């Protein structure tokens, strides 16, 4: 539902980088807006995933293999759903995603880790979630966490983690919190 506005923002940001006069007839707010989690994902939706995720450990790259943080078996156990495979993808510099394919008819589980160099901030994630409706603070997950009905975002040190498709804490489903805790533990 947010895709058209997000795509406009992404196009304006790209045009603004290419030309100082780009998007001058459009909204200055859209052109000046920081990249959001949603815009980065939408902007990179067509990019091809990596087979292993990213550079091996010890590399100077800020990217990591998000699928190495949580196995398919762990994801299935924590979510109470069955996932058949995990697909790693770098959605933008410093934004690493793992998509767990659902076999139980529900939606896929998506885990995104935002590294400090990604440009995504806690304020960015807060803005995106608040735009979708009711948001609730979640205690006991990372340094701080919040959730809406379908997504949980957490901050752990300088990294941000987004869990999508595992249910939100607003409905009494704490699978997303358990998954976030496991991912955060694997990051340390």
Mean pLDDT of 29-48: 33
pLDDT at 132: 80
pTM score above 0.85: no
Cα 78 to Cα 24, 56, 174, 182: the distances in Å are: 48, 26, 9, 9
pLDDT at 112: 96
Q: Which range among 28-32, 101-105, 108-112, 173-177 shows the weakest confidence by mean pLDDT?
A: 28-32
* 25 against 159, higher pLDDT: 159
pLDDT at 50: 35
Does residue 35 surpass a pLDDT of 90? Answer: no
Compute the distance between CA of residue 67 and CA of residue 89 in angstroms, rounded to an integer.
Answer: 9
pLDDT at 180: 94
Q: Tokens 């406009």 belong to which residue?
A: 8
Compute the distance between CA of residue 97 and CA of residue 100 in angstroms, rounded to an integer.
Answer: 10
pLDDT at 85: 94
Mean pLDDT score across all residues of the chain: 71
Mean pLDDT of 15-42: 32
At residue 37's C-alpha, the angle toward residues 32 and 39, to 5°, is: 60
Supply φ then ψ for residue 140, to 5 degrees: 85, 5
Does residue 139 surpass a pLDDT of 50? Answer: yes
Per-residue confidence at 106, pLDDT binned at 50, 70, 90? confident
Two tokens at 154? 């957490």
Mean pLDDT of 93-106: 90
Per-residue confidence at 113, pLDDT binned at 50, 70, 90? very high
Q: What percent of the chain has pLDDT over 90?
A: 46
Largest CA distance in the chain: 51
């Amino acid at each position: 539902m947010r895709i058209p506005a997000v795509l406009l923002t992404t196009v304006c940001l790209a045009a603004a980088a290419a030309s100082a006069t780009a998007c001058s007839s459009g909204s200055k707010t859209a052109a000046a807006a920081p990249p959001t989690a949603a815009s980065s994902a939408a902007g990179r939706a067509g990019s091809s995933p990596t087979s292993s995720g990213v550079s091996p450990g010890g590399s100077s790259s800020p990217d990591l293999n998000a699928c190495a943080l949580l196995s398919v078996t762990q994801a299935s156990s924590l979510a109470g759903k069955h996932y058949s495979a995990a697909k790693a993808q770098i959605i933008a510099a410093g934004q690493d995603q793992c998509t767990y394919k659902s076999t139980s008819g529900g939606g896929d589980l998506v885990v995104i880790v935002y590294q400090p160099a990604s440009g995504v901030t806690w304020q960015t994630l807060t803005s995106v979630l608040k735009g979708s409706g009711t948001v609730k603070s979640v205690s006991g997950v990372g340094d701080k966490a919040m959730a809406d009905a379908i997504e949980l975002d957490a901050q752990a040190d300088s990294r941000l983690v987004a869990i999508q498709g595992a249910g939100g804490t607003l409905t009494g489903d704490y699978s997303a919190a358990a998954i976030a805790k496991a991912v955060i533990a694997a990051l340390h």
